[in-house]
Amino acid sequence: MKRISYKGGYKYQLVEPISLLTNICPGEDILTEYTDLYYDGHMIIRAGYAWDGPSGPTIDTKNFMRGSLVHDALYGLMRQGKLLRSRREDADMLLKQICREDGMSRIRAWWVYKGVRMGGGKSVLKSSMKKVRHAP
């Protein structure tokens, strides 16, 4: 078969897995192809995970990349219905925390947080999942 199926809209792809402890404890293990979030908040994002980097009117800087990766993975779990959408604010706070840990200024991290609080609500809805395209 010559036909392919693909999704667009990604800028970055993780080359090595990342493991971190979050404050988001779902109560049971959530295991997906690229992202695992364990009952105790331990998160693993595997190599090959693709994400679009920092969103909104911003610049993709090194001190924003890890935070955007983790944030996108958590929002992805919400879009898939695997993590409660009520955990969105926790994910937004974690984004701010990681950006600060990675050297982002306090004021910029605050603006990042405010931006996702105001504009990120639709991003956790299933309807915002990337559409599968086919070619030819």
Residue 5 — very low, low, confident or very high, per pLDDT cuts 50/70/90?
very high
Number of helices (H), then strands (E), in the chain = 3, 8
d(CA 97, CA 23): 11
Task: Answer yes or no: is pLDDT of 9 > 90.
Answer: no
3-state SS string for 28-83 = CCEECCCEEECCCCEEEECCCCEECCCCCCCCCCHHHHHHHHHHHHHHHHHHCCCC
Residue 128 — very low, low, confident or very high, per pLDDT cuts 50/70/90?
confident
pLDDT digits (tens, 9 = 90+) for 17-65: 999 999 999 999 999 999 999 999 999 999 999 999 998 888 999 999 9
pLDDT digits (tens, 9 = 90+) for 86-97: 999 999 999 999
* Pick from 89, 7, 83, 90: nearest CA to 39: 83
| pLDDT value of residue 56 | 81
Q: Collapse the DSSP code of 5 into the 3-class scheme (helix H, G, I; strand E, B; otherwise coil) and give the result.
A: strand
Q: What is the mean pLDDT of the chain?
A: 95
Q: pTM to 2 decimals?
A: 0.93
Average pLDDT value for residue range 96-118:
97
| pLDDT value of residue 57 | 84
* Residue 69: half-sphere exposure toward Cβ, Cα within 13 Å: 27
Structure tokens given for 32: 């997906």
